[in-house]
Each structure stands twice: as C-alpha cells, then as structure tokens.
Chain A
Amino acid sequence: MDLDDQASVNRLAETNGTDNMIVLLGQPDPDSTVLFAETVTRGDPTWAGPLAGVPLGLPVYHILEPDIKQQMDATLYDEHVGLMELSANVDEIVEEVRAYRST
C-alpha cells in the first residue's frame, strides 16, 4: 500500500479513533486483497510504511461481499462493479477478507 496513504490512514485512526470506522476494499484479486486487508488490520506486511508494526485492527470488507452489495444502490453497483463481479474470483476474495475479520 502506498506509503502516503498508509500515513493518511494512520493519522485518521490516531486523531479520530477507530470507533465506527471500517475499511472498504476494491481489489480485483485475492492476493492484493490480502495485502491491503493485512495492512489495515495487523500492519504493513512489507515493513516499509508507517503502518509497519501498527496493528490498527480495523474491520475490513470487500465491495464484492454480498452483505455489502445489498446495502448499496443497485444501479450504481452494476455500473461500477458489474464487470468485476463477472470477471473476478469472488468466492476466494470474500473468503480471504472474511478471514481478517474473524481474528
């Protein structure tokens, strides 16, 4: 994850607390989903950025999760996510991101 973006996320968490805060991801494959989910829960796995060793423990969700989808505007969802729903490995992505919420 971009180092400046890690700093921004860290700052948000530090200044306003993490109450009621969640992370929503839009990665197209399981590998990059894991990378970002890991960064905002356990810390930057590459140990390069401001979140290295900072376990924010934020609840992390993916835009492809059915529970997330059903809360969003259906037309908008189809416009922005419709193709990825067809092309991505949805089951694996959902399984990976869920694993970061159960630990």
Chain B
Amino acid sequence: MQLKGKRVIAIGEREGVPGPSLKALAESAGAEVVFAVTQCFV
C-alpha cells in the first residue's frame, strides 16, 4: 500500500503514538491527513 496520495484518518492514543505524531509521519510519506485524533481511555 502506497501512503502517498492517500487520505488518512489518524487515530492515535496517549499511551502509544498520539494523533499529531501520526499526522506528521503520514505527511512525511506524502499522504493527506483528513482527520487526526488522540484517544485517552482514562
């Protein structure tokens, strides 16, 4: 799967990789991030 050109929904987690980090990483691969969020379970 090529990330480049994809529209990405990024669902991060506080204890893992948060949304803003996923967004930056996906963009570094040429993807367009249409939604990025961080989940906190607690």
| Residues of chain A at the chain B interface (Cβ within 8 Å) | 1-2, 5, 8-9, 12, 16, 20-29, 32, 36, 40, 58-59, 61, 63, 67-68, 71-73, 76-77, 80-81, 84, 88
A12 touches B25 (CB 8 A): no
A24 touches B10 (CB 8 A): yes
Residues of the B chain whose Cβ atoms lie less than 8 Å from the Cβ of A8: 35, 37
Q: How many A-B residue pairs have CB under 8 A?
A: 105
Cα-based distance from A76 to B29 in the complex (angstroms) = 11
Residue contacts A-B, CB under 8 angstroms, 7 given: A5-B37, A24-B10, A26-B12, A32-B41, A71-B30, A72-B29, A88-B16
10 smallest beta-carbon distances between A and B, as pairs: A26-B17, A28-B16, A73-B28, A26-B12, A71-B29, A80-B21, A21-B7, A23-B9, A26-B16, A72-B25
Residues of the B chain whose Cβ atoms lie less than 8 Å from the Cβ of A25: 11-12
Query: Contacts A28-B16, A32-B41, A81-B25; is A21 near B6 (CB within 8 Å)?
Result: yes
**Residues in B1-42 with C-beta less than 8 Å from chain A:** 1-13, 15-19, 21-22, 24-26, 28-30, 34-35, 37, 39, 41
